[in-house]
Amino acid sequence: MTAIRKFETGLMALVVLTLALTVILALVAPDYFTLSFAKEDGPVEWSTALFLLVASVVMATHAVSLWRQGRRGAALLTAFYGLLFFMAAGEEISWGQRIFGWESSEFFLENNKQDETNLHNLMVGDVHLTKSLFGPVLTICILLYLVGLPLLYPKGGRIAALADRFAVPVPWLKHAAIALVASVIIAVLDVDRKWEVYELIFSLVIVSIFLIPQNPAKTR
């Protein structure tokens, strides 16, 4: 077993552990879950930021490899994917604002739900911009990627061709299963900040996909 395979296996084990711990804490110690485990700047949030950053680094290394192979278009797309996950990692921890203690600019103080320097908590009047406009669309896109694509890709055709053309790392069926199980578990739990765990599961699964996709020859 290669080092990458071992690491990917560890990620899957961490997904199972996280879900099990989430269920136990949510049922047995909901206050601890909300105020410690899944709190702002808690272990769940920082782990999410870390693995989003890892996903970004993996994409960056693949982009360099693709560029050296002369596959410039695929390299630029892969670099763009990596940039998106780098930004997601920064957004998760408000770009380190609470670490370094800088003050938000006047714009963010007036328009950010938490008075922080990030985009995902922007408000337009009383409307939470990201949650209201992008949340449902983003959730559908993520589920289509994690559940739909691994089912359609092996059949070939236009979907598979587009995924390969745009250097999209294709999930495996195990990732689809994890996404569905995690969605059900998180949905039925009645505890505050449970969606923070959902984000952590997503970040772990994404790293797994990027490391060992169905179409490695097309993405690195």
Q: Which amino acid is at 83?
A: L
The whole-number pLDDT of residue 135 equals 63
**Hey, where are the domains in the chain?**
3-219
CA 7 to centroid of chain Cα atoms = 17
Q: Which residues have C-beta within 8 Å of that of residue 206, sequence separation ≥ 6?
A: 51, 52, 55, 85
The whole-number pLDDT of residue 109 equals 65
The whole-number pLDDT of residue 120 equals 65
Report pLDDT digits (tens) over 52-98: 999 999 999 999 999 999 999 999 999 999 999 999 998 888 777 77
Report the alpha-carbon distance of residue 205 to residue 210 in Å, rounded: 9
Count Cβ atoms below 10 Å from residue 96 Cβ, excluding itself.
12
Residues in the chain with pLDDT values less than 50:
none
Report the alpha-carbon distance of residue 123 to residue 102 in Å, rounded: 21
Report the alpha-carbon distance of residue 33 to residue 213 in Å, rounded: 33
User: Strands (DSSP E) along 65-173, which ranges?
Assistant: 123-124, 127-128
Report the alpha-carbon distance of residue 180 to residue 194 in Å, rounded: 16
Report the alpha-carbon distance of residue 170 to residue 191 in Å, rounded: 32
pTM, entire model: 0.90
Report the alpha-carbon distance of residue 181 to residue 85 in Å, rounded: 23
The whole-number pLDDT of residue 23 equals 97
